[in-house]
Amino acid sequence: MHNAALDAAGISLRYEALDVEPQQLSETLGKLSSVHGAGNITIPHKRSAIGLMGAISAAAAAAGTVNTFWSDEDGHLAGDNTDVAGFEFLTTEMTGAIPGNCRIAVLGAGGAAAAVLAAVSGWKGCTATVHARSIDSAAALCRRFSAFSRAMAMSDDQVRQADIVVNATPVGLGDDSQPISVNRIAPHAAVIDLAYGRSETAWVRAARERGHRASDGLPMLVRQGSLAFHRWFGVDPDEEAMWAAVLKATGRARRVGGAQVQH
């Protein structure tokens, strides 16, 4: 999708994937900064990368992770977390507006869950429960967002009270496993799975079959990528070109607000 955006903008650069071992992260980022490089950072490096940045955005500081970096004219690295705004976009697309006075259940306590809570921290009157297999991990995350979040076990039935249920775990990536049964979710709740792939996750399909508004993380992926592009070049990319590339690569149809639309 980034190469499609680069082509649409007439920028003669290529976006390429680098497989970086944890012990190589600092050296790799140093080499990229020396040539004024920019890019994205994904698991398992999002947390450790934040300590290698010369400056970070408020979103990255709140989430405690970096997923987007660039270098200034002096070669100093700066980092942002565009997942935060990407999640807010996806939620707004699902619900029609930035949520207010609602209850959110977050499944998982890792970097993706932190980005979700960083977004929720700006939503008026909203509260969150964080459900994880390790209650200690959930509690550690909630201490950073203590004003509105509480730690719960994955089995806790507080999920049933939520207006929005978010899967921020890797469960369902590459197979049909589900983080929790959709039967535990209130009928009115919106269901968001941050996982994405060539097809929708089994959890999203099961939720939609049960009548929920449901989406995987593909819209979040494209929007956070669009925001990253703006960070790198100071201009907005052709987001429709990015969507076209993603849909061609996956063979999928685009959904808005959980409903399929023509592209």
**Per-position pLDDT tens, the chain of length 263:** 999 999 999 999 999 999 999 999 999 999 999 999 999 999 889 999 999 999 999 999 999 999 999 998 788 999 999 999 999 999 999 999 999 999 999 999 999 999 999 999 999 999 999 999 999 999 999 999 999 999 999 988 889 999 999 999 999 888 899 999 999 999 999 999 999 888 999 999 999 999 999 999 999 999 999 999 999 999 999 999 999 999 999 988 886 655 554 44
- Rounded Cα gap, residues 141 and 133, in angstroms: 13
Residue 107: DSSP 8-state: E
Q: Are residue 19 and residue 113 in the same domain, yes or no?
A: no
Q: Are residue 12 and residue 110 in the same domain, yes or no?
A: no
Q: Are residue 198 and residue 103 in the same domain, yes or no?
A: yes
Q: Are residue 35 and residue 117 in the same domain, yes or no?
A: no
Q: 31, 46, 124, 248: which is the annotated catalytic residue?
A: 46
42: its two tokens = 């994904």
Look up the domain containing 28 and give its range. 2-82+220-255
- Cis? peptide before 99, omega within 30° of 0: no
How many domains does the chain divide into? 2
Q: Indicate if 46 belongs to the active site.
A: yes
Q: Are residue 103 and residue 185 in the same domain, yes or no?
A: yes
Q: Are residue 118 and residue 94 in the same domain, yes or no?
A: yes
Q: Which residues pair with 107 in a beta bridge?
A: 131, 167
- Tell me whether residue 249 is in a domain: yes
Percent residues over pLDDT 90 in the chain: 85
Contact (CB, 8 A) for 57 and 81: yes
For residue range 205-262, what is the model confidence (pLDDT) as tens digits?
A: 999 999 999 999 999 999 999 999 999 999 999 999 999 999 999 988 886 655 554 4
So what's the pLDDT on residue 262? 42
- Rounded Cα gap, residues 182 and 256, in angstroms: 21
